Amino acid sequence: MQMHCFVGCSDSLGLASYEKKQETWKDKRYSKLERLEAGLARARSSIREAARNGSLKSTHEDPDYVPQGPIYRNANAFHRSYLEMEKLFKIYVYEEGEPPMFHNGPCKSIYSTEGRFIHEMEKGSVYRTTDPDQALLYFLPFSVVMMVQYLYVPDSHEIHAIEKTVIDYINLISHNHPFWNRSLGADHFMLSCHDWGPRASTSVPYLYNNSIRVLCNANTSEGFNPSKDVSFPEIHLRTGEMSGPLGGLSPSRRPILGFFAGRLHGHIRYLLLEQWKDKDKDLQVYDQLPNGLSYDSMLKKSRFCLCPSGYEVASPRVVEAIYAECVPVLISDNYVPPFNDVLNWKSFAVQVQVRDIANIKRILMGISQTQYLRMYRRVKQVQRHFMVNAAPQRFDVFHMTIHSIWLRRLNIRIQD
């Protein structure tokens, strides 16, 4: 297995120099895997070329959307990569395992993105193939949320049964198929929005160290590796679908500088509430909203929405803010936000380290009206990438997640 650096690097879209091998493909017989890898090599070359030829606007035609502007690290490279993904990317979903803990997941909870992704793959997304020899990647369709529901003993603080289930599943698919052992898991991925998703993966060292882990809990201090793992957006779908209209009041009709409402849930929120609860009329921070105030309406009339981490780094408030066209303020340490390999978060969000909680008002007041209006417009633009659609549409949250996974597959070369 060879490694390339297409994400987790300092240049645009995570692209780095890749030593190209000049080989003549016509007169030599290659295995299916080698032909797949040859297609990936051509895709890498095409993306690198796009990265060199511009950054603010894609030069590629597209009937649905042409990425442009500073919300992207490199709009041209992203669009070229997206088009290559649509052309080449195929995923095989292992059929082993039975519902409810496999091939199933929650769709009406804070963990809904986990369930919706699993269900989309099960329905037969355009990226799914039933021929494992045609696949570039292999999906391990277990749900940590469902394992917690059915295997965890409340208040035991032990997840041995969950870890053993993951171990047994990897043993099963590695016995039934050649693909896990061929790459030691490097061309496999798991997906979890539960706080214990990272812990569940530690039960199999190759899963933790080699496989792509798509995690809401994207905490670099707990082993999240941005060059290999994928940050997954946490979206709370209370009914299983997006409810209520997007957007909010226009900038001139947003009287609140910053807003947060949420119960005590971890050390960061404790610091935020201790510093700002009932302390400032411009920075309205609540542990519980007073009667008569609506959470959604407060989002829609605030300029900045505070999104502190809870016990774990991810928060559904980030996407809630984007839906309400309220500039998100990410208050966390060691958190890698979703689609960070493509999106330039600094262009449409404010990132505040925990040690600067006492300075939040000064930081927000220091953003000029002109800059705020730019960020507001960019939040509106970036909404499409976090949209949840009943049937996935190009560039929405499902496809952006697939694209992040695709970029990690570009990072490696698998050999027989």
Strands 2-3 and 283-286, sheet pairing: unpaired
Q: Which of 94-103, 115-124, 145-154, 243-252 has the lowest mean pLDDT?
A: 243-252
Tokens of 61: 């035609």
The average pLDDT across 212-237 equals: 97
pLDDT band at 4 (very low <50, low <70, confident <90, very high): low
Q: Please name which of 201, 192, 189 lies closest in space to residue 159, comparing C-alpha atoms.
A: 201
Q: pLDDT tens for residues 31-84? A: 999 999 999 999 999 999 999 987 899 999 999 999 999 999 999 999 999 999
Q: 375 pLDDT exceeds 50?
A: yes
Tokens of 288: 């519980």
Q: What is the pLDDT of residue 28?
A: 43
Bigger pLDDT: 238 vs 32: 32
Q: 289 pLDDT exceeds 70?
A: yes
pLDDT band at 27 (very low <50, low <70, confident <90, very high): very low
Bigger pLDDT: 285 vs 416: 285
Q: What is the pLDDT of residue 416?
A: 81
Walk across the sheet containing 91-93 and list its strands.
128-129, 91-93, 137-139, 188-192, 212-215, 230-231
Q: What is the pLDDT of residue 99?
A: 97
Q: 15 pLDDT exceeds 80?
A: no
pLDDT band at 25 (very low <50, low <70, confident <90, very high): very low
- Residue 194 contacts residue 201 (beta carbons within 8 Å): no
Q: Which of 27-31, 83-87, 309-313 has the highest mean pLDDT?
A: 83-87
Q: What is the pLDDT of residue 125?
A: 85
Q: 3 pLDDT exceeds 60?
A: no
CA–CA dist 229, 218 (Å, integer): 8
The average pLDDT across 303-307 equals: 98
CA distances from residue 260 to 19, 151, 244, 278, 350 in whole angstroms, order as listed = 48, 35, 20, 11, 14
The average pLDDT across 305-330 equals: 96
Bigger pLDDT: 4 vs 305: 305
Report the top-level CATH class of 256-384.
alpha beta
Q: 26 pLDDT exceeds 60?
A: no
Sole residue written with tokens 């774990």: 312
Provide the residue ranges of all domains of the chain, joining segments of one domain with +. 32-88, 91-239+390-411, 256-384
pLDDT band at 24 (very low <50, low <70, confident <90, very high): very low
Q: 291 pLDDT exceeds 90?
A: yes
Q: 108 pLDDT exceeds 90?
A: no
pLDDT band at 1 (very low <50, low <70, confident <90, very high): low
CA distances from residue 396 to 40, 82, 164, 176, 393 in whole angstroms, order as listed = 23, 12, 35, 34, 6
The average pLDDT across 304-315 equals: 95
The average pLDDT across 337-355 equals: 98
The burial class, CB within 10 Å (0-12 / 13-18 / 19+), for 234 is buried
Give Cβ neighbours of residue 50 (< 8 Å, ≥ 6 apart). 59, 60, 74, 76, 77, 79, 80, 81
pLDDT band at 157 (very low <50, low <70, confident <90, very high): confident
pLDDT band at 7 (very low <50, low <70, confident <90, very high): low
3-state secondary structure the chain: CEECCCCCCCCHHHCCCCCCCCCCCCCCCCCHHHHHHHHHHHHHHHHHHHHHCCCCECCCCCCCCCCECCCECCHHHHHHHHHHHHHHCCEEECCCCCCCCECCCCCCCCCHHHHHHHHHHHHCCCCEECCHHHCCEEECCECHHHHHHHHCCCCCCCCHHHHHHHHHHHHHHHHHCCHHHHHCCCCEEEEECCCCHHHHHCCCHHHHHCCEEEECCCEHHHCCCCCCCEECCCCCCCCCCCCCCCCCCCHHHCCEEEEEECCCCCHHHHHHHHHHCCCCCCEEEECCCCCCCCHHHHHHCEEEEEEECCCCCCCCHHHHHHHCCCEEEEECCCECCCCCCCECHHHCCEEECHHHHHHHHHHHHCCCHHHHHHHHHHHHHHHHHHCCCCCCCCCCHHHHHHHHHHHHHHCEECCC
Q: 11 pLDDT exceeds 70?
A: no
Bigger pLDDT: 1 vs 43: 43
pLDDT band at 242 (very low <50, low <70, confident <90, very high): low
Burial call 139-170: b when 16+ CB within 10 Å, e when fewer? bbbbbbbbbbeebbeeeeeebeebbebbeebb
Question: Angle at CA 406, nearest 5°, toward 404 and 409?
Answer: 120
The average pLDDT across 20-33 equals: 54
Q: What is the pLDDT of residue 150?
A: 96
Question: pTM for this structure?
Answer: 0.93
CA–CA dist 386, 338 (Å, integer): 9
The average pLDDT across 194-200 equals: 95
